[in-house]
Amino acid sequence: MLPKIHYDENWTEKFLESLETNKGFGNWTTYNMALKAGKNRLVEEFHGLEATKHLPDLTIYPHQYETAQTVIDKMNGKAVLADEVGLGKTIEAGLILKEYMIRGLVSKVLILVPASLVTQWCRELNEKFFIPAIEQRKRPAWELVDITVTSIDTAKREPHASTIQDINYDFIIVDEAHKLKNKNTRNYQFVRSLKKKFCLLLTATPVQNRLSEVFHLISLLKPGYLGDETSFEEKYKEDHEQLNELIQKVMVRNRRSDSGMDWPKRHVQTVPITFTQEERNLYDEVSKLKHRYSKREESIGQGIAFTTLTLQREVCSSREAAYMTLKGLMEQYENETTIMEDLNQVAERINEVGTNSKAEKVLSIIKESNDKVIIFTEYRATQLYLQWFLGQHGIKSVPFRGGFKRSKKDWMKQLFRDHAQVLIATEAGGEGINLQFCHRMINYDLPWNPMRIEQRIGRIHRLGQEEDVQIYNFAVKDTIEDHILKLLYKKIGLFEGVIGKLDDILEKFTNNQFEEHVSNILLHSESEGEMRVKMDNLSSIIAK
Amino acid sequence: MNQLEIHEYLKEFFIENNSEILDESPGHLHVQLSIEMDKALMNRPFYWHYIEKMNGVPNPMKLTLITDRDSVNEDLKGELIHFGSPRLHQIFDTATGLGSHVLLYESVNTNGFTKPLKPWIILNGVISYRSNHKKDHFFSIGLSLITGEMIHDIQSHIEYKNFTEQIPDYCFKMNPIIKPQSGLERIKKYIYEQLEEEDHQWAKVAVDQLKKDIALLETFYKDEEDKPETYFHEKEAIKEQYDPKIEISIINGGLFYFLNHPLSE
């Protein structure tokens, strides 16, 4: 077959015009220089990477080079980049984009990233790749800018969304693409509505809870590749091997363990915390409540029992966190006398608590050296309390939350780097900040989703980290926290990153959320022995 | 291009464009830009607009380009320049513009004898084969406007010769029998003929992939009778991604007058 041929007549016309007017001619030297310039831009092979010749100062690791090559040669420029956190997905995406730009296959580019990362993406593309990316904030000029970086939240809003949908982008990159796992969200619909010629979806956690998440992600890239939704569920419920094979053709996933690099070590240390008598009393009071209500059949009973599980976790964090939930309960049941009596008991115990044992421990760890420390907590009330508490002891800290505006996030990160010793982040703040200048982390309380732990650790244990990483896991003795840590996370080797195959693990929970599993075990075990057995079962499924 | 070649190229470029080299070491060039080069490279149209409007004294900038960081003093401030740096590509663009077309005469000494110079058209360009991948093929073709003879890769035969913009003494131009425009047409036709004879396996691969992806798309939307807009978007995107095309573009070329046959030493 002979493809369509297009001949550029532009030159011919101008040349004939020059001949006629006898104007605009160069000389032998300029002729040769033009020719040299033109020849230097040629790319004479279909395959292989030209980009590296253009990036002499960029350190490219072998797994990044291979990824770029695989995506371009074998995946035709449509792929999920799913390296584990900290392996440099941005570099891989930059390399791929650069390659397409050098080859002239791509000129109009849209890069959708979390708000907190817009500036960072722009800077990296400009400085590391010489790609003139421009941030779009308040008054975007979508049509005029060739390489646009913006947040998905800005892009999906009108009037931007319609403008963007009409632009013929050659290349679309979506960072933190696991946010697109739910097909009913506006984010998903928006990305789906874009015309995707070449497209990269970046995520460290392609599967967080359900296998169907991967289906939706890949259907964004290549609709139909995994069939339609119904046939997908039926076909692959059992047959994971075939599914994996298919997925591997559109997804690259590098793991630390096989990146062949010399990583800084992770030193993981469990820090057992002993409650003060008052804290213990509070915890026991909540536990009593939990046992009482979890035996009741009616929905109010179950609802309260479930909340007491949350309360238990919160008590392990701070009385402030527990208080917020308790207050909510009291408002909800203000007309139920017996329930109110029980809740008042808890409130009294809260009032009796003076010292926060965990906070004291935090203080002593921070004071061990002048190095910076990141503290992760699940609760905003704890975050506020800790900031106040550290302040009382003359330690400067900055808060970090997912809800912060982009500019505030940048600013907080900078404050932390230049002026404060401690950063206190809540869960939602875990994503999208790179803090490799810090190598100590305290998990003040633990999330019940192993993927989120890996996300947390990935903030500091990533390319660019030069020191060994210290991770302190706090767990209060004889509480649910202790159970989760000892019976589950330690068993599966979570913190050491040795399993490194979290996605495989979570595949095993196709239909049930991992967190639900854990909650159920904790809520419905009659005895500690029963819970132990159930946790054992769970960890053996995981560790298989 | 390695760093040494880049250094040589830049030096030649600035000298050719009336920009004095103020200082030079093997690792850097310090250049006083000419007005034209300042306009072409420094991206400050407002300044030039202002100066020209006000009849001000133009003050073109100086530029320091570092081609080998290791061989220059650490304190030297300047732009690092390498094959990927935007500055080099800006200079390439400028150079391409300045040497796009020529009308040149072979530089010869006829020792007082009157000699005819024969016209040739020379065309340097690129054939780009593109689908979701792309590769370029360089061509340099010469065509005699007297005999219609065509020479491949003519550039490699003439690059060591010399040409001037003025016709050498005692020489006269032979009138072309083939008009330049027809000459250009002949070259174009020739390229097309060559392309028809090639085996375009790459295009077959691309079309197969295109068909495969469209088929997947159809299964995905098979249950929807009124196809949603996304379906058409996706379909369009797949076509754009794989659809094989050949693009022929010209780097530069011109009308050359030769005393001797271009292939003769």
Shortest distance, CA B124 to any CA of chain A (angstroms): 8
Q: Which of A124-128, A345-349, B68-72, B120-124 has the lowest mean pLDDT?
A: B68-72
CB atoms within 10 A of CB A58: 18
Q: How far is the C-alpha of A448 from the C-alpha of A509, rounded, in Å?
A: 14
Could you tell me if residue B148 is left (phi over 0), alpha (psi between -120 and 50 degrees) or otherwise beta?
left
What pLDDT is stored for residue A513 in this prediction? Answer: 63
Handedness of CA B228, B229, B235, B237 (dihedral sign): negative
Collapsing DSSP states into helix, strand and coil, what is residue B142?
strand
How large is the C-alpha radius of gyration of chain B? 26
- In the block, tokens 């497209």 appear at A199
Portion 95-124 of B in contact with A at CB < 8 A = 95-104, 124
Are B19 and B33 in contact, with CB atoms under 8 Å apart? yes
Please give the Cα distance from A143 to A163 (Å, whole number). 8
Please tell me the predicted confidence (pLDDT) of residue A273: 92
User: Widest CA span of chain B, in angstroms?
Assistant: 86
- Which range (A404-408, B100-104, B130-134, B171-175) has the least confidence? A404-408
Q: Which residues between 162 and 191 in chain B have a beta carbon less than 8 angstroms from any beta carbon of chain A?
A: 162-165, 180-181, 184, 188, 191
Q: Which residues pair with B120 in a beta bridge?
A: B144, B256
| Interatomic CA distance for residues B119 and B174, integer angstroms | 7
On whether the CB atoms of residues A398 and A423 are closer than 8 A, the answer is yes
The burial of A270, by beta-carbon neighbours within 10 Å (0-12 exposed, 13-18 middle, 19 or more buried), is given as middle
Query: Which residues is B152 bridged to in the sheet?
Result: B141
**Considering only CB atoms, which chain B residues are within 8 Å of A216?**
none
> What whole-number distance in Å separates Cα of residue A195 and Cα of residue B230?
8
Instruction: State the residue for tokens 């009973």.
Output: A301
Is residue A159 reached through a cis peptide bond, with omega within 30 degrees of 0 on the bond before it? yes
pLDDT of residue A494: 56
Sheet holding A134-135, edge to edge: A134-135, A147-151, A109-113, A171-174, A198-202, A78-81, A251-252
The Cα A151–Cα A136 span in angstroms is: 8
Q: Tokens in use for A491?
A: 């068993």
B249·A8 Cβ contact <8 A: yes
pLDDT, residue A498, reads 38
d(CA B2, CA B12): 15
Residues of B in contact with A198 (CB under 8 A): 132, 241
- Other beta carbons within 10 angstroms of residue B114's beta carbon come to 9
What is the distance of C-alpha B180 from the center of its chain?
20
* CA triple A198-A64-B80, angle to 5 deg: 95
**Helical H segments across chain B, by residue range:** 3-16, 35-41, 45-54, 86-98, 154-158, 180-197, 201-220, 229-242
Q: Are strands A266-273 and A469-476 parallel, antiparallel or unpaired?
A: parallel
Q: Which residues of B touch A249 (CB under 8 A)?
A: none
Give the whole-angstrom CA distance, residue B133 versus residue B203: 10
Residue among B84, B133, B138 minimizing CB distance to A130: B84
Complete DSSP assignment for B226-254: S--HHHHHHHHHHHHHH--EEEEEEEEEE
Residues of B in contact with A44 (CB under 8 A): 135-138
**A133-137, A521-525, B67-71, B251-255: which is most confident:** B251-255
Output the pTM of the full model.
Answer: 0.74
Work out how many CB contacts closer than 8 A connect A with B. Answer: 228
A383 alpha carbon, distance to own chain's centre: 20
Question: Residues, chain B, total?
Answer: 265
CB contact B156 to A (< 8 Å): no
Name the pLDDT band for B208 (thresholds 50, 70, 90).
very high
Q: Which residues of chain A have pLDDT under 70?
A: 208-210, 237-240, 258-262, 427-432, 490-514, 541-544
| C-beta separation of A259 from A230 below 8 A | no
Residues of A in contact with B125 (CB under 8 A): 11
Residues in A closer than 8 angstroms to B196, CB to CB, are 2
Residues contacting A426, CB < 8 A, separation 6+: A376, A377, A378, A379, A380, A383, A400, A401, A402
Please state the ipTM of this predicted complex: 0.94
Q: Which residue of A has its CA nearest to B210?
A: A76
Distance CA B179, CA B185 (A): 10
Q: pLDDT value at position A238?
A: 67
Residue B15 one-letter amino acid: I
Helix (H, G, I), strand (E, B) or coil at A300: helix
- How, if at all, do strands B134-144 and B115-130 pair? antiparallel
Element (H, E) at A322: helix A319-332
**Count of C-beta atoms within a 10 Å radius of residue A544:** 8
Nearest to A222 among B12, B129, B216 (CB): B216
Of A19, A34, A46, the CB nearest to B133: A46
B184 neighbourhood in chain A, CB within 8 Å: 12, 15
- B12 touching A (Cβ < 8 Å): yes
Task: For residue B80, give the nearest of B27, B33, B24, B19 by alpha carbon.
Answer: B27
Of residues A228, A202, A245, the one with CA closest to residue A87: A202
| Interatomic CA distance for residues B202 and A401, integer angstroms | 51
* Interval A12-52: pLDDT, tens: 999 999 999 998 899 999 999 999 999 988 998 888 888 88
C-beta neighbour count of A344 within 10 angstroms = 12
Please choose, from the candidates B90, B95, B89, B96, the residue with its C-alpha nearest in 3D space to the C-alpha of residue B125: B96
List CB contacts (< 8 A) between B220 and chain A. Answer: 219, 223-224, 227-228
What's the pLDDT band for B107 if we cut at 50, 70, 90?
A: very high
A7 pairs with which residues across the strands?
B248
| More confident call, A164 vs B265 | A164
Q: Nearest by CB to B136, from A26, A30, A43: name it.
A: A43
pLDDT in tens, B37-62: 999 999 899 999 999 899 989 999 99
Tell me how crowded residue B204 is: count the other CB atoms within 10 A of its CB.
13
Q: How far apart are CA A36 and CA B5, in angstroms?
A: 11
The predicted pLDDT at position A71 comes to 94
Pairing of strands A469-476, A440-443: parallel
Residue A185 · residue A157 · CB < 8 Å: no
Beta strand pairing call for B245-258 and B115-130: antiparallel
Q: Which of A229-233, B163-167, B186-190, B258-262 has the lowest mean pLDDT?
A: A229-233
Sequence length of chain A is 544
- At A62, list the tokens: 């072998």
Point out the least confidently predicted range of A510-514, B145-149, B192-196: A510-514
Contact A430, A455 (CB under 8 A): yes
Contact B98 A30 (CB under 8 A): yes
Distant-in-sequence, close-in-space partners of A394: CB < 8 Å, separation ≥ 6:
none
pLDDT at A492: 61
Enumerate the β-bridge partners of residue B28.
B25, B66
Q: Which two tokens stand for residue A315?
A: 């008590």
